[in-house]
Structure formats: C-alpha cells, structure tokens
C-alpha cells in the first residue's frame, strides 16, 4: 500500500504527466514552494520506480521497539528504580537481548541520567563565615 503524497504527485503531474502542463522542474518546484533539488529528486525517483514513496531505511534494525523503550523508562521511575543491569536481566526474561549500553542510550535519549549522582558536602559554619 503506497502512502499518499499530494505535493510529490502534483510535481509529477506538473512536469511529466501526459495530461499535465509540462512545466520545468524549476518552475514547478517554485510553484509548489519546494526546493529545486527536492523536485529533481522526486522526478528522478518517479522515473526509476514509477512511484514517489519513501525508500526503506537501511542499516541494522533497533534492538528494542518504541513500546520496550517506554517500559525501560518506566522501570527507572517510581519508588524503587532499577539499575541498567537489572533492566537488562528483566528484558532477557522477556526474550529481548540488549546490552547495558543500549539501555543507557535509551535512557539518555528520553532525558534521564543513568549514572551516580555526585555527592556534595553541605556547608558548615566555617564555610558560611
């Protein structure tokens, strides 16, 4: 099922469709208020594939899903927060194999700090004076 991209299809219609006005990519991009390089890219993609869909992402898939990332964050909150090692063990019970650094990255991405807090001595009377 292809997604619906009105601006991309409009660009194709304006530039190369048989019933379109046969505008140049430059003028069609200006009319649609998109960059010329984007216009050229989508016209090229249409000529190569016959569509204007996004290409699948490359690279290694993530070890955790978005739902599992939320569970990791919830495990660190509450009355008794879990350490990264405990979270790794808990996820291993569920069949998800991840490392401590993966958990640390997920926590950092969500704005949480995963290390020890720095102990700071309180001021005594000599310091105050």
With vertex at residue 11, the alpha carbon angle to CA 10 and CA 17, rounded to the nearest 5 degrees, is 85
Cα dihedral across residues 124, 125, 126, 127: positive or negative: positive
Judge residue 39's burial from the number of C-beta atoms within 10 Å of its C-beta, 0-12 exposed, 13-18 middle, 19 or more buried. Answer: buried
Where in the chain are the domains? 6-49, 66-109
Tokens of 117: 């807090």
**3 vs 8 pLDDT, higher one:** 8
Mean pLDDT of the 98-107 span: 93
Q: What is the pLDDT of residues 35-92, one digit of tens each?
A: 999 999 999 999 999 999 988 888 998 899 999 999 999 998 888 888 889 999 999 9
Q: For residue 113, what are the CA distances in angstroms to 66, 90, 121?
A: 19, 20, 21
pLDDT at residue 2 greater than cutoff 60: no
């Amino acid at each position: 099922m292809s997604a619906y991209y009105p601006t991309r299809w409009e660009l194709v219609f304006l530039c190369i469709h048989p019933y379109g006005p046969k505008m140049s990519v430059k003028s069609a991009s200006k009319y649609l208020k998109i960059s010329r390089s984007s216009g050229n890219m989508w016209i090229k993609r249409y000529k190569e594939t016959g569509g204007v869909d996004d290409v699948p992402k490359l690279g290694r898939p993530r070890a955790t899903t978005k739902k599992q990332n939320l569970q990791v964050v919830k495990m660190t909150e509450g009355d008794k927060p879990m350490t990264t090692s405990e979270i790794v063990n808990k996820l291993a019970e569920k069949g998800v194999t991840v490392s401590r650094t993966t958990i640390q990255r997920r926590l950092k991405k969500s704005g949480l700090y995963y290390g020890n807090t720095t102990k700071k001595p309180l001021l005594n009377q000599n310091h105050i004076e």
